[in-house]
A and B are shown apart, each in its own frame.
Chain A
Amino acid sequence: MSTATTTPVPVMPARHFLNDNYGIRSWLLTKDHKRIAILYLLSITVFFFIGGIFAALIRLHLLTPNGELFSADTYNRLFTMHGVNMIFFFLIPSVPAVIGNFVLPIMVGTKDLAFPKINLLSWYLYIGGATFSVLAMVSGGVDTGWTFYAPLSSGYLRGHVILMAVGILIVGFSSIFTGLNFIVTVHRMRAPGMTWGRLPLFVWSNYAASLIMVLGTPVIAITLTLLALERGFHIGIFDPKLGGDPVLFQHMFWFYSHPAVYIMILPGMGVISEIVPCFSRKRIFGYAFVAFSSIAIAVFGFVVWAHHMFVAGISVYSALVFSLLSYAVAIPSAVKVFNWTATMYKGSVQMDTPMLYAMAFIGLFTIGGLTGLFLAALGLDIHIHDTYFVVAHFHYVMVGGMVTAYMGGLHFWWPKMTGRMYPEVPAKLAALITFIGFNLTFFPQFILGYMGMPRRYWAYPPEFQVLNVLSTAGASILSVGFILPLFYFLWSLKYGEIAGNNPWKATGLEWETTSPPPTHNFHEIPIVTKDPYAYGEEEEEVPVVH
C-alpha cells in the first residue's frame, strides 16, 4: 500500500534552521520560533528530570510506613518541589512552548509567530523564573505544598516561600506571552485559504489553552503577590490573625489553578487529534465538534474552581452550583474521546510509536476523566477529597494524559524538528514500559485513597503498605520508560535515519516543508485549498513543495 518504495531515498536539506547560523549567540538571540522551541525543549527536559528525581525519592520514602528515609521536613519539601517543578516548569510549558512553538506557525502557514521578540522574551522569563525556583530549591526549598495554602504558607513555615512565589510569578508571564503570541498569530497570520474551519485541531486546542493562559495567569500572579505581601510585610489578606480570610486564598488560587489544568491538558488533546487521523489514514471524526469542545472546555473551565473546596467551608448552595458546572466541563472531554475512537473506525491503522502513545492517552485519559466524576460528586468528594484518590486522578490526567500526549507529540514531530527518525523498536518498548509502569504506579493509589490514606503523609498506618509498595514498584518501571527516550533521541541526532519531508505521509502544512524546516519555514507562503486531515483523497500522492 505504501508508496515508500517508489519515493527516492530522503536526503537532508542543505540549508535549514539548525545550520543556518552557528554559535551560542545565534541561539541565545534567535527570534526563530523553532530555535526557541528547542531552547524550551532543553530547559523543560531538565526540569522534568529534576521533578522526576523528587518523585522517585517520594516513592522510595513511602516504601515503609514509618517514614524511615527522610525527615518529615525533607519529605514535605520533596513533594512541594515535585509539584511546583512539574506543574509550573514542565507541564504548563510542555506542549505549547515546545511543540506548539515549533509547529503552530508552520501549521497556519506563516514564517514565524506574530511577535518573535516577545517569544524570545518568554523563554528568558522562563529561565528567570526557573532561576528563582532553583535558588529557592538549593537554599533549602519550600514546604508549603504546590498549593501554597494560607495561612500556613504566609505565616507558619520557614521555607523560601517568597523566592518560589517570585519564580512562579515570573514564569507566569512567560506563559502569558506564549498565549498572546498564539492568539494573535492564529487570528492575523494564517496563510491564504487557511480558514478557521481548516485549522488543524492542534491549533484549535492551543488557541483555547492560550485564552486561559492570557486570562487566568494574571490571577495567580496577583494571588502570589498578595501572599508575599502578607508573608513579608504582615499585610492581612488571608491570615485571620491579621484580619484576613484563608478561604479567599483558595478561591483565588483555584481560579487560576483549575483552568491551569486545562492549559495542561488541552494542547495534549490537540496532539492526539493530529496523531489519530494520521495513523488511521482517516479524516478526524466530527472536526467541528472536536474543535468547539476545546473552546467549551476553556470557557467552562473558568467556572468550576470551587470544586476543589467542597469541604473547605463554602456554602452548601455554592457547592451545588460548582458541582453541576463541573459535570458540564466533563461533557466536551467525553465528546473528544468518542470522536478519536470513531476516527479509528474503518481506518487503516498503523501502530507506530506516536499512535501507541495516542492510544495510551485515550485509555488513561478516559480513566482520569471518569474518576473526576467521583470527585465532582459532592457527597462522595467529602470522603475522597485530599486523599490519594485525588493524587491518582490528577496523575492519570496529567501524566497518563498530558505527559503521554507530549511524548507522542515529541515522537510524531521529532523527524520534523531534527530531520532524523528515532529508532522504532526502543521507542515502542519505551511506550509500553511507560504504560505498564504508569498504571502500576497510580492505580493502587485509587484504592489507597478510598481506604482513606490522606495525601502529603510522611508516615502512614501499616495497612496501607502493600499498595504503597506496588506503587513504588510501578514508579521504578515508569522511570525506565521516561529515561529510555532520552538516550535514543540523543542517539538519533547523529545516527537516526534521514526522515524526509513527510515520513508519516501526514497532512498539514508542516509536512510540506523540509525536515528540518528552513529558517523561514517556507520558501513560498503556501496557499491552502484543502480541508484538514484530507487523508484518503490523495493517498498515493505525497505533496512536496520543492
Chain B
Amino acid sequence: MKLNFPIFPDQASSMAWHVDALYLFLVLLTTFFSVLIAVLILYFAIKYRRRPGHVAQQIHGSTLLEIVWTVIPLGISMVIFVWGAALYYHMERPPSNALEIYGVGKQWMWKFQHPGGQREINTLHVPTGRDVKVTLISQDVIHSFFVPAFRVKQDVLPNRYVFTWFRPTVPGTYHLFCSQYCGTKHSGMVGSVIVMTPEDYANWLASGKAEGSLASLGEKAFQQYGCTTCHRPDSGARGPNLEGLYGRPVRLTDNRVVLADDNYIRESILEPNAKVVSGFQSIMPTFRGVVSEDEIMAITEYIKHLAPQESNPLNNRTTPTQIRDSEVPNIQQQNKEQNEQQQQQSPQGTRPANPSGKKP
C-alpha cells in the first residue's frame, strides 16, 4: 500500500505561485512569532521559576515597548494587507480577451457550456496558456466554485452572475469542489478540471457533440420564445433594439443609466419591469420559470454577438411607442400551448429551428 501523503497542493495556474508566495511568507512570519513567544514563555518560566531567595522584580510597564510592539505588528500587517489586496484586485478582474465559459451550479452538480456549444457535467476542459473566464450562476442555493490547484474560489449565487478567471499552466486533472455548504450531497458536488495543451484542447473541442455554437443556440431560443416579435431593429418596435447593446450604457425611464452586462440582460428577461429602457413601456412579461439558466446564458451570448447596425443606433427614445395591450403577445400562453402541442407530437426535433441569415 502506497502512502499518499502530500502536504502542498498542485500549482496549475498562473496565479498559484503568487498566492503560495504570500502563504509561505505568512508561514515564516507565523513560525517566527509563535516560536518567539513560546521560547520567551518557556525561558521566563524556567529562568524565573519560583525558588527560595528569588523575588520577582516589579516592572510597571514601558510606554516605549508598547509603542514598539504596536507599531511593528501594524507595519507588518500593512505589508500583508497590501500584498493580499494586490493579489485580490488582480484575481477579481477578469482580462477582457479571456475565453468565456458559462457554468451553472445546482444541487448537486456543475454544468458548463463552452462558446462552441459543447456542454459538460462535473468536468471542465480548459487549455493551457489562455485566460479563462467562467461566468457562474446557481439554480437554487449558494454554491462555491473552488479549484485548489488554481487557487481560485468564487461563491455561486442564485439570481446573479459572478465571475472568476484563471490561466491554466500545467496539463493534468485537478479537483473541482463545491466549497459552500449546499445540503445533503455537498461533498458529492465535486468534479474535475481537465487542463489540456492547446492542441489537445482543439481536438477535444472538435470531437465534442455540439449542436451549434452557444450563440446559435441562443438565437434559437430567442426566436422560440418570441423575443423577435418586439426586439426588432426597426423604429416601430415595441421593445428596444438589442443590436450592439452588450457592454453599452442604457438610459432607463427613471433617467438612471445602467451598463448592459450579463446581470442586466438576465434581470431584464426575468424581471422586465425592474429596469425599463427610456422611451419604452413596461409591457414585457416575465420569463421566470419559463426559460432555464442555460438558455439565458445562450441568449446572452447571442445578444453579445449582435453587432450594432449603422442605420439603427441604440435607441433611447424620448416618446413611448403607442401600442395596445392586445398587441402584446402572451408569451407564456403561447409557450404553454407550444409545449402541449409538442407533448402530443414526438418530443424534440419538431421544434422549428429557424436559423435566420444573421449568424454572428
Q: Which residue from chain A places its CB closest to the CB of B141 in the assembled complex?
A: A152
Q: Name, among B3, B69, B175, the residue most crowded by chain A CB atoms within 10 Å (CB to CB).
A: B69
Contact check, B80 vs A373: say whether CB atoms are below 8 A apart.
yes
Contact check, A151 vs B141: say whether CB atoms are below 8 A apart.
yes
C-alpha gap A348/B44 in the complex (Å): 9
Contact check, B41 vs A341: say whether CB atoms are below 8 A apart.
yes
Annotate A176-218 by CB proximity to B: 1 below 8 A, 0 otherwise.
0000000000000000000000000000000000000000000
The answer to the question of A497 belonging to the interface, with a C-beta cut-off of 8 Å to chain B, is no
Contact check, B140 vs A156: say whether CB atoms are below 8 A apart.
yes
Known: A76-B186, A452-B146. Is A359-B41 also a contact (CB below 8 A)? yes
- Point out the residue from B5, B50, B90, B148 that lies within 8 Å of A466, measured CB to CB: B5
C-alpha gap A319/B183 in the complex (Å): 27
Contact check, B22 vs A377: say whether CB atoms are below 8 A apart.
yes
Contacts of A379 in B (CB 8 A): 18-19, 22, 83-88, 90-91
C-alpha gap A330/B49 in the complex (Å): 31
Contact check, A383 vs B81: say whether CB atoms are below 8 A apart.
no
The answer to the question of A486 belonging to the interface, with a C-beta cut-off of 8 Å to chain B, is no
Shortest B72–chain A CB gap in Å is 9
Q: Which residue from chain A places its CB closest to the CB of B177 in the assembled complex?
A: A454
Annotate A530-542 by CB proximity to B: 1 below 8 A, 0 otherwise.
0000011101000
Known: A76-B186, A458-B187, A461-B175. Is A535-B81 also a contact (CB below 8 A)? no
Contact check, A157 vs B183: say whether CB atoms are below 8 A apart.
yes
- Point out the residue from B29, B157, B177 that lies within 8 Å of A246, measured CB to CB: B157
Contact check, A363 vs B34: say whether CB atoms are below 8 A apart.
yes
The answer to the question of A457 belonging to the interface, with a C-beta cut-off of 8 Å to chain B, is yes
Known: A331-B73, A359-B41. Is A285-B140 also a contact (CB below 8 A)? no
Contact check, B153 vs A348: say whether CB atoms are below 8 A apart.
no
Contact check, A366 vs B59: say whether CB atoms are below 8 A apart.
no
The answer to the question of A378 belonging to the interface, with a C-beta cut-off of 8 Å to chain B, is yes
Contact check, B48 vs A349: say whether CB atoms are below 8 A apart.
yes
Contact check, B44 vs A341: say whether CB atoms are below 8 A apart.
yes
C-alpha gap A454/B22 in the complex (Å): 20
Annotate A358-378 by CB proximity to B: 1 below 8 A, 0 otherwise.
010011001100110110111
Question: Which one of A86-94, A128-136, A258-266, A305-313 is at the B interface?
Answer: A305-313
- Point out the residue from B48, B65, B77 that lies within 8 Å of A346, measured CB to CB: B48
Q: Which residue from chain A places its CB closest to the CB of B71 in the assembled complex?
A: A331
Known: A72-B185, A351-B49, A450-B9. Is A316-B89 also a contact (CB below 8 A)? yes
Contacts of B184 in A (CB 8 A): 72-73, 76, 143
Contacts of B74 in A (CB 8 A): 327, 331
Annotate B131-143 by CB proximity to A: 1 below 8 A, 0 otherwise.
0000000001110
C-alpha gap A382/B92 in the complex (Å): 10
Contacts of B37 in A (CB 8 A): 337, 341, 362-363, 366
Contacts of B26 in A (CB 8 A): 370, 373-374, 377, 380
Contact check, B84 vs A323: say whether CB atoms are below 8 A apart.
yes
Contact check, A240 vs B56: say whether CB atoms are below 8 A apart.
no
Contact check, A382 vs B91: say whether CB atoms are below 8 A apart.
yes
Contact check, A371 vs B30: say whether CB atoms are below 8 A apart.
yes
Contacts of B77 in A (CB 8 A): 327, 330-331, 373
In the complex, chain B residues 45-87 whose Cβ is within 8 Å of any chain A Cβ: 45, 48-62, 65-66, 69-70, 73-74, 77-78, 80-81, 83-87
Contact check, B19 vs A283: say whether CB atoms are below 8 A apart.
no
Contact check, B56 vs A350: say whether CB atoms are below 8 A apart.
no
Shortest A35–chain B CB gap in Å is 35
Contact check, B183 vs A383: say whether CB atoms are below 8 A apart.
no
In the complex, chain B residues 76-130 whose Cβ is within 8 Å of any chain A Cβ: 77-78, 80-81, 83-93, 107
Contact check, A316 vs B59: say whether CB atoms are below 8 A apart.
no
C-alpha gap A111/B197 in the complex (Å): 77
Known: A152-B142, A452-B148. Is A350-B84 also a contact (CB below 8 A)? no
Question: Which one of B158-166, B251-259, B325-333, B351-359 is at the A interface?
Answer: B158-166
Q: Which residue from chain A places its CB closest to the CB of B38 in the assembled complex?
A: A363
Annotate B250-289 by CB proximity to A: 1 below 8 A, 0 otherwise.
0000000000000000000000000000000000000000
C-alpha gap A463/B45 in the complex (Å): 41
Contact check, B50 vs A348: say whether CB atoms are below 8 A apart.
yes
Shortest A81–chain B CB gap in Å is 14
Known: A241-B158, A376-B84. Is A281-B188 also a contact (CB below 8 A)? no
The answer to the question of B144 belonging to the interface, with a C-beta cut-off of 8 Å to chain A, is yes
Q: Name, among A289, A349, A359, A537, the residue most crowded by chain B CB atoms within 10 Å (CB to CB).
A: A349
Contact check, A149 vs B50: say whether CB atoms are below 8 A apart.
no
- Point out the residue from B66, B80, B142 that lies within 8 Å of A327, measured CB to CB: B80
Contact check, A345 vs B88: say whether CB atoms are below 8 A apart.
no
Q: Number of contact residues on B: which range applies?
A: 35 or more
Known: A345-B48, A457-B186. Is A386-B29 also a contact (CB below 8 A)? no
Contacts of A147 in B (CB 8 A): 181
Annotate A429-450 by CB proximity to B: 1 below 8 A, 0 otherwise.
0000000000000000001001
Q: Which residue from chain B places its CB closest to the CB of A341 in the assembled complex?
A: B40
Shortest B177–chain A CB gap in Å is 5
The answer to the question of B216 belonging to the interface, with a C-beta cut-off of 8 Å to chain A, is no
Contact check, A311 vs B144: say whether CB atoms are below 8 A apart.
yes
The answer to the question of B154 belonging to the interface, with a C-beta cut-off of 8 Å to chain A, is yes
Contacts of A312 in B (CB 8 A): 142, 155, 157
Q: Which residue from chain B places its CB closest to the CB of A462 in the assembled complex?
A: B4
Contact check, B18 vs A386: say whether CB atoms are below 8 A apart.
no
- Point out the residue from A347, A381, A387, A447 that lies within 8 Å of B7, measured CB to CB: A447
Known: A151-B158, A380-B26, A382-B152. Is A345-B80 also a contact (CB below 8 A)? no
C-alpha gap A156/B77 in the complex (Å): 41
Known: A316-B89, A323-B84. Is A382-B153 also a contact (CB below 8 A)? yes
Contact check, B153 vs A311: say whether CB atoms are below 8 A apart.
yes
Known: A316-B93, A536-B55. Is A310-B158 also a contact (CB below 8 A)? no
In the complex, chain A residues 319-363 whose Cβ is within 8 Å of any chain B Cβ: 319-320, 323-324, 327, 330-331, 334-335, 337-339, 341-342, 344-351, 359, 362-363
Contact check, A535 vs B19: say whether CB atoms are below 8 A apart.
no
Q: Which residue from chain A places its CB closest to the CB of B84 in the assembled complex?
A: A377
Annotate A461-488 by CB proximity to B: 1 below 8 A, 0 otherwise.
1110111000000000000000000000
C-alpha gap A377/B141 in the complex (Å): 27
The answer to the question of A519 belonging to the interface, with a C-beta cut-off of 8 Å to chain B, is no
Known: A246-B142, A379-B22, A457-B186. Is A1-B93 also a contact (CB below 8 A)? no
Q: Name, among A152, A335, A460, A467, the residue most crowded by chain B CB atoms within 10 Å (CB to CB).
A: A152
C-alpha gap A51/B168 in the complex (Å): 43
Q: Which residue from chain A places its CB closest to the CB of B55 in the assembled complex?
A: A348
Q: Which residue from chain B places its CB closest to the CB of A355 in the assembled complex?
A: B45
In the complex, chain A residues 274-288 whose Cβ is within 8 Å of any chain B Cβ: 280-283, 285-288
Contact check, A383 vs B19: say whether CB atoms are below 8 A apart.
yes
Contacts of B44 in A (CB 8 A): 280, 341, 344-345, 347, 349
Q: Which residue from chain A places its CB closest to the CB of B4 in the assembled complex?
A: A463
Contacts of A371 in B (CB 8 A): 30
Contacts of B93 in A (CB 8 A): 316
C-alpha gap A362/B175 in the complex (Å): 37
Known: A152-B183, A311-B154. Is A536-B142 also a contact (CB below 8 A)? no
Contacts of B85 in A (CB 8 A): 320, 323, 378-379
Known: A316-B93, A335-B69. Is A380-B107 also a contact (CB below 8 A)? no
Contact check, B183 vs A156: say whether CB atoms are below 8 A apart.
yes
Contact check, A386 vs B8: say whether CB atoms are below 8 A apart.
no
Contact check, B178 vs A454: say whether CB atoms are below 8 A apart.
yes
User: 5 tightest A-B contacts by CB?
Assistant: A379-B87, A452-B148, A377-B84, A378-B88, A240-B159
A-B contact pairs, 23 of them (CB 8 A): A156-B141, A240-B157, A282-B57, A282-B58, A285-B62, A310-B88, A311-B154, A316-B93, A342-B65, A350-B49, A359-B45, A374-B23, A378-B88, A379-B19, A379-B91, A380-B26, A382-B19, A382-B151, A383-B153, A450-B8, A452-B175, A466-B3, A536-B58
Footprint of A on B, CB under 8 Å? 3-9, 18-19, 22-23, 26, 29-30, 33-34, 37-38, 40-42, 44-45, 48-62, 65-66, 69-70, 73-74, 77-78, 80-81, 83-93, 107, 140-142, 144, 146, 148-149, 151-155, 157-160, 162, 175, 177-188
